[in-house]
Structure 1
Amino acid sequence: MDRLTELRLFHKRAAREAPAGSMEGNQHDGTQAAMKTVINAAYGYLGATSMALFADLEAANEVTRRGRALLDSLLASLRERGMVPIEADTDGVYFAVPSEWGEEQERALVSQVGATLPDGVKLEYEARYGAMLSHAIKNYALLTYSGEVIVRGAAMRSSRSEPYGERFLRQALRCVMQGDLVGVAQGYQDTLRALRTRSLPASDVATRFRLSKDAQTYLAGRARQKEAQYEALLLAGRRQWKSGEHVRFYRASTGTPVWLPDDIDDISPLEDAEEDSGETMRVAPPSSALGRSPDLPAYDSDYYQQVLLNSYAERLRVALEPEDFLQLFRLDAQTSFFDRPVEQMHVRWIRYASEVSGVEEQG
């Protein structure tokens, strides 16, 4: 494992030094990623108890203990130097630095903190960002200095997300990380209005699902449990499909699932290449009504308004004061006499200053 770790770090450095998008860089990056998987699997194997021939639960627990102690030491070193940790796990730490700092000062800090770590453990400066929204551990959004929104974590995005929701969330995340709550409120109300009037096509509310059961398997167990993605196909008259096939469907106003073939208002939540990557969020623009089948049942407007609130707006809760969140994200258009102007609301920043930097723990 020591040798494999050394090789992984070598390939990671080589990938970073290679020309962007080059075959050489991709090869090094793929190699280091594969090695990381093997290294992590070795730790998991140790803790597999009776399922693994050479398992060693005591050794696995010791790895965990040392990892936590190392992370605690890293956080303490940052705090001693006046930095403000935002999120930390075994992969790395995001922390706030003074607003007047540049990359050179940040790198110097990382070198100083790295010098306090034990032999064999290296601290690497990964990147710097203008802002970060930390929804949960390993689920967050980053705003680069060029204005790009990067979203990571299964709780923040999914290949099954509806396009209208992803589009709203992407715009809202950018506004929140720029401190523009007026823009957040406007985007939310615009999306609610579009859902109420059904001015969005059915493809904008449809979810894309990868089937895990073929027709024979699903029909054999259908009496015990019905699943929307398969019921949508059956209601459309389909009796055959294969495991691994992608289907789109949405909920009609009657509550029934409706299959949406890809040749109708073809818009996907994610590009195929991004489906499992968990990296940068890219969402197709709203499709026009042109090409929409007149035979499609109307979608359940009330249901998708609830989804907008509970599945998308909810991810912004950590950035707002509780009373501000409740005022901004209502399902009705009613205002209260006690509402305060959105212009007076503020994002809840965790910061020493306005900058956010990232480091990644190596080894």
Structure 2
Amino acid sequence: STADDLQNDLAKELPPGIDVEIDEQFDAMFSYKAKNYALLTKDGDVIIKGGALKSRGLEKFQRVFLEEMIKLIMQRKPEAIVDLRNEFEQKIRNREWKIDMLMKTDTLQDSLDKYRSKIAAYARNRAAVYELALASGRNYKPGDQISYYIKATPKKVPAYESAKLASEFDPKNRDENIDYYLAKLDELVKKFGGLATTASAQKQETLAF
């Protein structure tokens, strides 16, 4: 097999006494940048390694979309990414997801007093997680986590002004900002869209041979 051939070829190049063992085999590998890659198992599961491809700063729906997009690239189906994006858009527009797909969970790094001081000194920008903590009146401390989403507003305002605690979300009276989340989806497509283009070109080259 190819794996056995690789193992034997490597063994020939290494000094005597060093054995080469095949740990695992995967159907495909997707490399984004150094130490950031994805693997496709024989069962069709995706294993992602590296912070660039599984950023905690992404909402869950973005992480799911990114994983599905990378899977399509590894399966040599980049043309299906358009349908995937449209599917996610419809779910956002139709408000099909539970709030855990849209909400974001951030951790307080600074105390609320330190945040106030930095804002007063123009040393940092306002952030939704801190504004929610201040508005709550609770004694939040560094290390505490707050889950929130962006609600719809009559006019466009910064995210920190339209953030709402996920615990206050009412599934019977949904108020998430559809345009905001569609923009988030498009940001992701734009950021990683070049990967799909490259994969499509590679597929065409393979077919040409």
Q: Same fold (TM over 0.5)?
A: yes
Q: Which runs of 4+ in 1 moved over 6 A?
A: 119-122
Match of 1:250 in 2: 149
Shift of 1:123: 5.3
Give the 3 Å change call, closer, same or farther, for CA 248–119 of structure 1 in structure 2.
farther
The structure with more helix, counted as a fraction of residues? 2
Structure 1 counterpart of 2:145, one-letter code:
H
State the alpha-carbon separation in 2 of the partners of residues 182 and 349 from structure 1: 10
Match runs of 1:155-234 below 5 Å: 155-181=52-78, 183-223=80-120, 224=122, 225=124, 226-234=126-134
User: Residue 10 of structure 2 corresponds to which residue in structure 1?
Assistant: 113
What is the one-letter code of the residue matched to 1:311?
A: L
Task: Select the structure with the greater relative contact order (CA < 8 A; seq sep ≥ 6).
Answer: 1
Asked if 2 retains the 8 angstrom alpha-carbon contact of 1:143 and 1:174, the reply is yes
Offset from partner CA, 1:140-198 (integer Å, 9 cap, x none): 22111111111111110123321111222222222232233454222210212233444
Displacement of 1:349 in angstroms is 4.8
How much has 1:131 moved relative to structure 2? 1.5
- State the distance in 1 between where 2:26 and 2:98 align: 36
Contact 1:135 1:316 in 2 (8 A): no
TM-score computed with the length of structure 2 as normaliser: 0.75
What are the equivalent positions in structure 2 for 1:96-111 lying under 5 Å apart?
Answer: 102=1, 105-111=2-8
User: Quick check: 1:315 aligned with 2:192?
Assistant: yes
Separation of aligned partners in 1, 2:134 and 2:14: 59
What's the TM-score once normalised by structure 1's chain length? 0.46
Question: Does the 8 Å contact 1:139/1:155 carry over to 2?
Answer: yes
Rg larger in structure: 1
Structure 1 residues 119 and 200, CA, compared in 2 at 3 Å: closer, same or farther?
Answer: same
Code of the residue aligned with 2:91 in structure 1: it is: A
Query: Which residue of structure 2 aligns with residue 143 of structure 1?
Result: 40
1:26-105 to structure 2, matched below 5 A, reads 102=1, 105=2
Query: Tell me, what secondary structure is at the counterpart of 2:71?
Result: helix
Kept in 2, the 8 Å contact 1:173–1:316? The answer is no
Aligned to 1:240: 139
Aligned pair partner of 1:292 in 156, 171, 177: 171
Q: 1:202 to 1:258 in 2, by over 3 A?
A: farther
The alignment partner of 1:164 has SS state of: helix
Cα gap change, 1:351/1:121 in structure 2, threshold over 3 Å: closer, same or farther? farther
In the alignment, what sits opposite 1:268? none
- State the alpha-carbon separation in 2 of the partners of residues 242 and 227 from structure 1: 15
Q: Which runs of 5+ in 1 are unaligned?
A: 1-101, 266-290, 323-345, 353-363
Q: Are the structure 2 counterparts of residues 306 and 145 from structure 1 closer, same or farther at C-alpha, using a change threshold of 3 Å?
A: same
Aligned partners of 1:316, 1:232: CA distance in 2, in Å? Answer: 34
Tell me which residue corresponds to 1:302.
179
Question: Aligned partners of 1:207 and 1:169: how far apart in 2?
Answer: 16
Q: Which consecutive unaligned segments of at least 5 residues does structure 2 have?
A: none
Q: 1:315 to 1:125 in 2, by over 3 A?
A: farther
- Shift, 1:234, TM fit: 2.4
CA distance in 2, matches of 1:245, 1:177: 38
Note the 1:11-22 alignment, pairs <5 A.
none
Give yes or no for contact 1:175–1:184 (8 Å, CA) kept in 2.
Answer: yes
RMSD between aligned alpha carbons? Answer: 3.3
Q: Is the 8 A contact 2:111 2:140 kept in 1?
A: yes
The count of residues paired between Structure 1 and Structure 2 equals 197
SS at match of 1:151: strand
Identity of aligned residues (%): 23
Whether the aligned pair in 1 keeps the contact of 2:103 and 2:148 (CA below 8 Å) is: yes
Shift of 1:117: 3.9
* TM superposition shift of 1:319: 3.3
For 1:142, what is the secondary structure of its paired residue? strand
